Structure formats: structure tokens, C-alpha cells
Amino acid sequence: MRLTGDRHLGLRDDERAGEPWARHWNPHVAPLSAEAQAAVLTGALPAPALPVLADAIHLDRPGYLPFESGCGTGPDGAMVVAIRTPLPAVTPAMIAWWFAWHSDDARRYKLWHPRAHVHAAWRPGGPAQGYIDRTSIVDEYLGDRLGRFAIQFVAPPALGLPPDDDRAITVCARVGLAAAPIDGGWLVHQVRRTPEGSEMRSRFWIGGPHVAARGGLTRLVQPLARAFVRPTRADAIALLVHCAEEMAHLGTFLPALHRELA
């Protein structure tokens, strides 16, 4: 995909002029956390060590699970990626606000990951507020590859997780291609309180049994859909790095941004 029109990396001075969020633009992304670096260096984990989508319900348990950061191909053939991100001074409610706020203006999306985010907009239809039951169409780089994705947010009970409360929220979405009627996987970001603020425990299941033709298309389309969504080990590492960078970067400015604009 090529960048066209107003779709470009970064924010020009004129794009930030007069915007109340402009002072939070920071084109510099911090190095990966030690936990993320270790996950990248470890490489792919064996299938028996990786959860399947149905295991997402265990995120609500106290403490930590055996798999919190890493990647590999799971027992069902899906690519599995996870990373834990500490978010000092951030509350779960701030994250819920952010997911509803950022897709209202493509420039806001660039605050989140200035080296990778290109564009975001809500697909017409669905609720006028919040993010659940809405679809965000995003252009972003994963590694050096530019993709356009449809992020279809659903309520946590759709994956067997409890409704959001003051203690924790869970951002859940069906992930697919924006330019073709193909869904490729799921993402889950659980954000729970800690003494310092919050932590985000991110999970992705991409490919394998999670690939499906969207919109009730027939089974004849299924083989074509799976040919479009065949993630590699390099894709898993790129997604892990991207998520680790964007969530840590978000934590650097979200408390102040929320205080000023929420």
C-alpha cells in the first residue's frame, strides 16, 4: 500500500496548530522495555506453552498467568502474541476514554505511535459515542509493512470476560482487513489497577481458525480468506514490538491528556 493524499507519517506544524492536544505530540518513542526485549530475544515459544482464544477468560484471575509476554504458533495453528505493559498513573477509565477519543480525528491516532500510525477513522454506522460496537479503520506500519485494518470492537462478555468496572476494563476486538471482507483474528487488552496505576496485558490471536469471510459470505471464500491471512514468525515479532512501543508511549502522555480534555 502506498501513502496518498493526507495519509503520511508524522504531524506537520500546521496539522497541530491550535489543537488542545498538540503539546502531547512527541515523535520520539522510548526503547523497548526489558520485558519486551526479552520476549523478542527468546523468539517463538512452543505451541503447548501458548493459550488459545478461549483462554482469554483467565485474564480475570488474580496474579499472573504462565504466559504474559512472548509469541509463537499456538496449538490450534493461530499466531499468538502477548506483551505486558506497566502504565504508571494511568487508570482503566483513561484507557476506555482513549479508545473512544482517538479515532474521531486521524491526527489523534498519530499521538499513539508517531513512527507507525498513519490514519484512523470510524466506519459509518454504529453508536455515536464510545468504542464498543464501532469499527475503526486504521492505516499503520507493523515493522516496515503498511497495512489497513478493520478493528471491530465488541463488549468483553462476547469473549467470556466480565463487564468493565472500576477495577479493570478489557478492550476486545475482531481484527480484519479493511479492503477485503476478511477477518483474521482477535485482540484483547486487559487493563487492571496496580498500586502504581495500571498495567495492560495484551493478547492477539491471528490466523488459523480465526480467519473467516465477513458478512455471511459462503464457505467457498474461506480458502481465499486463509490465503490472505497467513502470519509469519516475523509478523509475530513485528506485532509484539509495535504493541509494546505504542502502549508504553501512550502511558507517557495519557494522564495529562485525560486531565485536560476528558
Q: Give per-residue pLDDT as tens, 128-170.
A: 899 999 999 999 999 999 999 999 999 999 999 999 999 999 9
State the DSSP H helix or E strand holding residue 41, giving kind and residue range, or none if neither: helix 34-42
Helix axes 34-42, 233-261, angle to 10 degrees: 160
CATH code of domain 60-261: 3.30.530.20
215 pLDDT band (50/70/90 cuts)?
confident
- C-alpha cell, 198: 495500571
* Integer Cα distance of 198 and 247 in angstroms: 12
Q: How confident is the model at residue 230 (pLDDT cuts 50, 70, 90)?
A: confident
Per-residue burial over 117-147, b if 16 or more Cβ lie within 10 Å, else e, is bbbbebeeeeeeeebbebbbbbbbbbeeebe
Q: Which residues contact residue 217 at a Cβ distance below 8 angstroms, ignoring those fewer than 6 apart?
A: 181
For the stretch 16-53, pLDDT in tens is 999 999 999 999 999 999 999 999 999 999 999 999 99
Beta bridge partners of 45: 72
C-alpha cell at 235: 509478523
DSSP 125: S
DSSP state of 104: G
Predicted confidence (pLDDT) per residue in 165-200, tens digit: 999 999 999 999 998 888 999 999 999 999 999 999
From CA 192, how far away is CA 177, in angstroms rounded? 29
Q: Shortest CA distance to 100 belongs to which of 79, 126, 74, 82?
A: 126
Q: pTM of the full predicted structure?
A: 0.94
Q: Are 115 and 146 in contact (CB under 8 A)?
A: no
